[in-house]
Structure 1
């Protein structure tokens, strides 16, 4: 009885636990209809309690594993071989972060840093899976990414794709998993920082006017009807969905315009920074402002096994500028309260500097930043120990982070979706909402 779109069918009502309760209730004199009515009322009461705080998410992913010591969690009192060569700077809330982020230090009242993220996957692929799905990797099942789940639960808004990737789908774990392919991310296909940037397939081909486009669309629909009647393959249905959404974009000037950075004035472009970080973050702001529900963007390569000081100094300034301006801009536009900004990476880096003046993979403890969308700004949640080796207090798992994100979006994280073979699978299994970071 579990289905994909009904809050009553999450884990409690008609799921496995619901039928176990029905069996137990028989001995108490309750009929199955009585039990189901009571259970439904309880389920709806709980579901109604989860009100969306965030309308959209901007997920900024830093691939490779950004070092917590050279960013959100410096260790100024540890020995040099642990703390590294970079220093610290005081934030506008009195906390301390690495001096690689001076502009973000002035925005600390707008964000929360979780310094106690932890999991057990030291390989890039497995760590990335954790941080895009909230699940440990499994050989038996492909789990859907955050964007795919949000797209599945809410669908498009204002004719914009619900889930957009800048500039491309960042990895194999940012896909739809066991959900239909139609919930996949819409990829820009090019970097918005490029001078000749243009979103792939968003404009009519040369020589095709509006009337010719309509005729082509009608012909394609007739052909597609035959394909659909002959097969129920997921990729056929997904392709139809992609075409329909592309038509919506082509037919909606306001939606198309959201992808056009030239609509921003030079002052704003310069403020964000005319580089990859700045252009991608500005594009993300435009897209959530126009109606996209979850935008994932990537920036940089943070797998710094050697010369980490040089690597951080090379990549962090553009990130520091772009993210600090994004927070300011969202706030100035009245969008920060309804937009959750999440900055994550697949893991952190080793406590001790290695022989190549870098740091290696370290999943035992690392940091994540959250802002807006119901997050209490100006705080630190959890702590690592004196050398950033492991959590010292309040450890947070990927499942906890995912559950909190979904909670802010108004999605019940343990609702069951249908996987292949009619298997009910919870959106997140075992995660807890991190209550004290909520505003």
Structure 2
């Protein structure tokens, strides 16, 4: 059931209703108006286009010129050393991503992403929460909000990070820590890869495990009856979900990447990028609602050309294969693939043959899950130094993602002090990229 399609009232809704009462309406009229507004919002958001999300985050700041927004007619010190490649839709990408250029009909590129945070931590916060950092409040990550709104499916954690929680902003924020991510704890590209804590300890069979659980439940029951605290409740939730994983062979199998066909693993690439993306596909196919993975280090202040040549081929190959694999399995229409980074890079090459931090404009990709493929949305100016039209903020991106998942982005959640906080404040759905 979509938990967001009931009588959900945003702060804006109540303010609007207040204006109606000032016009002389009765309490009955007000309630009818509120219900009509709620029904209208429920109708708009009732059908989720995306059942799952794979969030590929490229830490460090992906250079827009050397990926999806080349400037071939700008001076060399702006355009860089790479050339261009024509996509299968007639657009132009940097020739560092030839595989993705052949699949441009499967995704949308936003070339006008913008925010004002030039520090890594603050930019990362924006792109994991939809909010600018605040000294007064820790905001929940996308995955934790999804976990809060929908909960687990098929005995699998709703929110998984591959291989580990990538940063301090990928957690549950002001929500209960029970909505935090489950992390693999090991990299699926390793030959000895093993997800931690998914098997019973040596010498513990199913019967002994059941006795231990019953004893623990009895002790916890007395303790939680007298103590009320988030970390206590959260620990109980973690135990329950761990039991579900241990008791469900299908759930445990979802984490066993060795069950994949060897030829498919080779297509993805037997490297960090390939096996992380393959693991993400396995997990959403099995029932995880949101998988966040990271790849590479794109903070290329020096020798950018060499850095891109080193990191981009594996990314291009593995992401291309992920899109093909999802499509071949009939999963792309219900799986939103979102590729983001904390900011872009400076329009001009620096003295060390690199590019520095540049939050004024950068590019992100969105595919599947209700996205119109073959779309270029927004534009940067001639040197990719600022948006030229249709600027998109991190709040807009978050609102669009939630919209595709059937989550009302301005729904209010309760922070610790019973303060209502909107999931996203002020974002707009990017309608130009919707199918």
- Structures share fold, TM-score greater than 0.5: yes
Counterpart position of 2:75: 79
Moved more, 145-154 or 37-46: 37-46
C-alpha distance in structure 1 between counterparts of 2:162 and 2:356, whole Å = 27
What secondary structure is seen at the aligned counterpart in 2 of 1:310? helix
CA positional deviation for 1:131 = 0.3
Q: Say whether the 8 Å CA contact 1:26–1:32 is kept in structure 2.
A: no
C-alpha distance in structure 1 between counterparts of 2:5 and 2:263, whole Å = 46
Counterpart position of 2:348: 352
1:40 lines up with 2:35 in the alignment: yes
TM-score of the two chains, using structure 2 as the length reference:
0.97
Give the gaps of 5 or more residues in structure 1: none
What secondary structure is seen at the aligned counterpart in 1 of 2:50? coil
Counterpart position of 1:133: 129
Q: Say whether the 8 Å CA contact 1:278–1:322 is kept in structure 2.
A: yes
Counterpart position of 2:273: 277
CA positional deviation for 1:24 = 4.5
1:428 to 419, 424, 433: 424
Counterpart position of 2:9: 10
Counterpart position of 1:229: 225
Alignment of 1:7-406 (within 5 A): 7-11=6-10, 15=11, 17-18=13-14, 21-22=17-18, 24-25=20-21, 27-28=23-24, 30-50=25-45, 51-406=47-402
Q: Deviations along 1:305-336, whole A, 9 cap, x unmatched?
A: 00001111111111111000000000000000
C-alpha distance in structure 2 between counterparts of 1:81 and 1:126, whole Å = 28
C-alpha distance in structure 2 between counterparts of 1:22 and 1:115, whole Å = 39
CA positional deviation for 1:32 = 1.9
CA positional deviation for 1:17 = 4.9
C-alpha distance in structure 1 between counterparts of 2:96 and 2:326, whole Å = 23
Q: Say whether the 8 Å CA contact 1:72–1:367 is kept in structure 2.
A: yes
C-alpha distance in structure 2 between counterparts of 1:127 and 1:298, whole Å = 15
* Structure 1: 4+ residue segments shifted above 3 A: 4-7
Moved more, 213-222 or 383-392: 213-222
What secondary structure is seen at the aligned counterpart in 2 of 1:115? strand
What is the RMSD computed on CA atoms of the aligned residues? 1.4
Q: Deviations along 1:49-93, whole A, 9 cap, x unmatched?
A: 212000000000000111011111111111111111111111111
CA positional deviation for 1:379 = 1.3
Q: Deviations along 1:375-419, whole A, 9 cap, x unmatched?
A: 000110001111110001110000000000000000010011111
Count of aligned residue pairs for this structure pair = 432
CA positional deviation for 1:31 = 2.5
C-alpha distance in structure 2 between counterparts of 1:17 and 1:284, whole Å = 37
What secondary structure is seen at the aligned counterpart in 1 of 2:244? helix
What secondary structure is seen at the aligned counterpart in 2 of 1:309? helix
TM-score of the two chains, using structure 1 as the length reference:
0.96
Q: Say whether the 8 Å CA contact 1:345–1:368 is kept in structure 2.
A: yes
Give the gaps of 5 or more residues in structure 2: none
Q: Say whether the 8 Å CA contact 2:17–2:33 is kept in structure 1.
A: no
C-alpha distance in structure 2 between counterparts of 1:19 and 1:98, whole Å = 47
C-alpha distance in structure 2 between counterparts of 1:406 and 1:7, whole Å = 16
CA positional deviation for 1:100 = 0.9
